[in-house]
Amino acid sequence: MLLTKESDYGIRIIRTLSSVNDIRTVREICDAEHIPNQYAYKILKRLEKAGFVQSLRGRDGGYRLAKSVKSFTLYDVINALDGDFAVFECLRDDNHCVFKDSESPCSVHLEFDRLQNLLVDEMQRVTFNKLLE
């Protein structure tokens, strides 16, 4: 699977932020989820840009969720962090696959595509509150 560490860490960051109503510092998030500090800042910035988290500046600043965990899915977060999500390399938009680009794709590619669609459908069904129950 081509899920990146960023998706893994992003999901865990949201888990930590969902467990409290307070603002959490980057250090608190990193300590709770065992995430390297350098990754956390980068991922939090991307999660903020995608509208999942809100940053608050100042002495009592940190991060909190920007919206309810009921309002977004596992797929939403993965898509925001990984973009061109693909389970198999040949399904990536930027990958040149002679079988994918042929007039009649191979049966293996067709099966990979079917599996990809099933996984995406399932991830789109899982809201974060359901995942965290």
> What does 34-89 look like in DSSP terms, one character per residue?
T--HHHHHHHHHHHHHTTSEEEE-STT-EEEESS-GGG-BHHHHHHHHHSS--SSG
Count of other CB atoms within 10 angstroms of residue 30: 20
The separation between CA 107 and the C-alpha centre of its own chain, rounded to angstroms, equals: 29
pLDDT of residue 7: 92
User: Looking at 10-19, 30-39, 95-104, 108-117, which range is the least confident one?
Assistant: 95-104
R_g (Cα) of the chain, nearest Å: 17
Q: What is the pLDDT of residue 103?
A: 73
Helix (H) or strand (E) run with residue 12 in it: helix 5-18
CA 54-38-9 angle, 5° bins: 65
- The pLDDT, as a whole number, for residue 41 is 93
Amino acid letter, residue 3: L
Number of domains within the chain: 1
Structure tokens at 125: 């069904």
pLDDT of residue 107: 80
Q: What are the beta bridge partners of residue 73?
A: 127
Q: What is the CATH number for 37?
A: 1.10.10.10
108/127: higher pLDDT: 127
Give me the domain span that covers residue 17: 5-131
